[in-house]
Amino acid sequence: MKILDKYILKTFLTPFVATFLIVLFVLVMQILWQTFENIAGKGISLPFILKFLYYTTLIITPQALPIAVLLSSIMALGSLGENYEFAAAKSAGISLQRLVRPLVFLTLILSGINFLFLNNVFPYATLKQKNLYLNIKKKKPAMALVAGSFNSDIPGYQIKFEEKYGEEKNLLRKVLIYDLTGNKGNQKVITAERGKIISEEGSRYMTFILYNGYYYEEHVKSARSTVKRKKMAASNATFDEYEFNIDISAVSGDGDLDKENHTKNHMMLSLSQLKDTIPDLKSSYDEILKLKSKNIYSSVSAKELYKYPDSLKTKDSDLNVLENFDLQNKIRILNSATTKTSRALTSIKNNMTTIKWKRKTLNFFDTEFYNRIAFSLSCLTLFFIGAPLGSIIRKGGFGMPMILAIAVYVVYFFGNTFGRNLAEESSISAFLGSWIAVIIMVPIGILLTRRATRDKGLFNINAFTQPITNFFKNLMSKKDA
């Protein structure tokens, strides 16, 4: 390796290590703050919290790597330009392409490492972290209840409250509870001004104590006879204090935080596993569509629709088919058509949710497969933006490079997220949704590389203003003549 290559690599690697660790720390802390409420105060030992942070770090690493490559490439090339080392290299006949050649090889290696992380480490870490997080939430289900929205983690209940307060975060304000344990809709509703949750570790029950509330229950659906329905359509009552227990054995877990109950998530599979799973999901989705279409086909009696041969047609037949029947038959035909159409529409509406969810699940797996490959090249893509950008601005340090790096990565991350969301909703194909960010960034990288190679600035204002200035100068000279 030549001295020049060693120097360029050193100039790049020094800020790369620093920025990678800083970005990794910031992203991990962000995840930790989001999940802190479900971890803190649950009697979880320090080793398990450190294990959670370890898995989170492994998950975040593929995301932190391209950011570090982008920022360090801008800083390294900007520092070389700021210290006139570019000018010295060019005067010695060394081109920009020759200077960044060792960095290109290094970035290729980093892209390979990123791919290995995404294909092997990322699924493993996601599997471990998600299961650990869910098991921690189940350790004290009361702590998993979130203020301001309906909580449906506890089977058979929809629970909402405005605020959770107190030292143990077990006091509630403005409580609304829908009891769905009868599997007959929202027949039982309980509201209260205040409430309290009592939940002991290891117990299969969680106790609610409500104060100053109202209780309402409908009996119409549960009553069998008409007489009973008329006699007691509903019951309601106000209370000063109301206490009841909820069975949480289905969600409380068995205390084993390392237990792996969830293994089928698309983010927990490697590329080979995704490749094997996608055909099965597609086959299942196609089978459902085929089955539903057959049901509709048979329900509308489409088999009975056929063409009469020309020999059976008479000259007196009206092209408007209904006009060939008398009034009674017209009514019968229209009623039959309306009934069958309504039945078909009802069937479609009832099956729409199932079909949409099957399609979305397939999209999740399909998009994840292509995104793993596309995102592994993000290091290379962002390098070819950061390197020419740094040589153009000629500024080292964390100031201007940091601002530019954030702006570029926001565009890349927004494009990737936007594309994935569109692909998951079936608006575009999974392939296009995963690669749309690369498609956006590659032309920008080519443009910046061309401008850096030709020693042009980031924006050539004169190229826009000069034609306008010349136009007015020529106009004025004609008036003077």
Q: Give percent of the chain above pLDDT 90.
A: 4
Q: What was the pLDDT predicted at 464?
A: 44
Q: How far apart are CA 202 and CA 200, in angstroms?
A: 6
Residue type, 454: R
Distance CA 123, CA 100 (A): 33
Angstrom distance (rounded) from CA 157 to CA 291: 34
Mean pLDDT value across residues 226-246 = 73
Confidence of residue 457 (pLDDT cuts 50, 70, 90): low
Question: Which residues, other chains included, contact 137 with Cβ-Cβ below 8 Å and sequence gap of 6+?
Answer: 38, 143, 144, 153
Calpha distance 204→13 (Å, rounded): 55
Q: How confident is the model at residue 109 (pLDDT cuts 50, 70, 90)?
A: very high
Contact 119, 128 (CB under 8 A): no
Cα–Cα dist 433/418, whole Å: 8
pLDDT at residue 461, as a whole number: 45
Q: What is the pLDDT of residue 186?
A: 64
CA distance readout (Å), 438 to 9, 98, 182, 419, 432 = 26, 25, 52, 11, 10
Q: What is the pLDDT of residues 244-302, one digit of tens each?
A: 888 776 555 554 555 555 567 788 888 888 888 888 888 888 888 888 777 777 766 66
Residue 474, sorted as left (phi over 0), alpha (psi -120 to 50) or beta, turns out to be alpha
Among 406, 411, 470, smallest CA distance to 438 is for 411
Residue range 313-363, pLDDT digits in tens:
556 666 676 777 778 887 887 888 888 778 777 777 777 777 888 888 888
Q: Give Cα 253 distance to the centre of its chain.
A: 27
CA distance 154 to 142: 10
Distance CA 351, CA 288 (A): 10
Does the structure show a pLDDT above 70 at 224? no
Q: What is the mean pLDDT of the chain?
A: 78
> What is each CA distance from 338 to 110, 253, 299, 334, 348, in whole angstroms?
64, 52, 12, 6, 15
Q: Is the pLDDT at 463 greater than 60, yes or no? A: no
Residues in the chain: 481
How far, CA to CA in Å, does 14 sit from each of 47, 80, 86, 108, 384?
32, 13, 19, 18, 19
What is the DSSP secondary-structure string of 448-459?
HHHHHHTT--SS
pLDDT at 148: 78
**Helix (H), strand (E) at residue 172:** strand 171-179
Nearest to 157 by CA among 133, 134, 190: 190
Mean pLDDT lowest for which of 44-53, 70-79, 151-160, 252-261?
Answer: 252-261
- Range scoring the smallest mean pLDDT among 13-17, 289-293, 356-360, 451-455: 451-455
**Top mean-pLDDT range of 120-129, 344-353, 460-469:** 120-129
Predicted local confidence at residue 250, as pLDDT: 59
| CA separation for the pair 247, 182 (Å, rounded) | 14
| SS3 letters across 249-270 | CCCCCCCCCCCCCCCCCHHHCC
End-to-end CA distance of the chain: 67
Q: Quote the tokens at residue 171.
A: 């006091």
pTM recorded for the entire structure: 0.65
**Angle formed at CA 334 by CA 329 and CA 338, multiple of 5 degrees:** 150
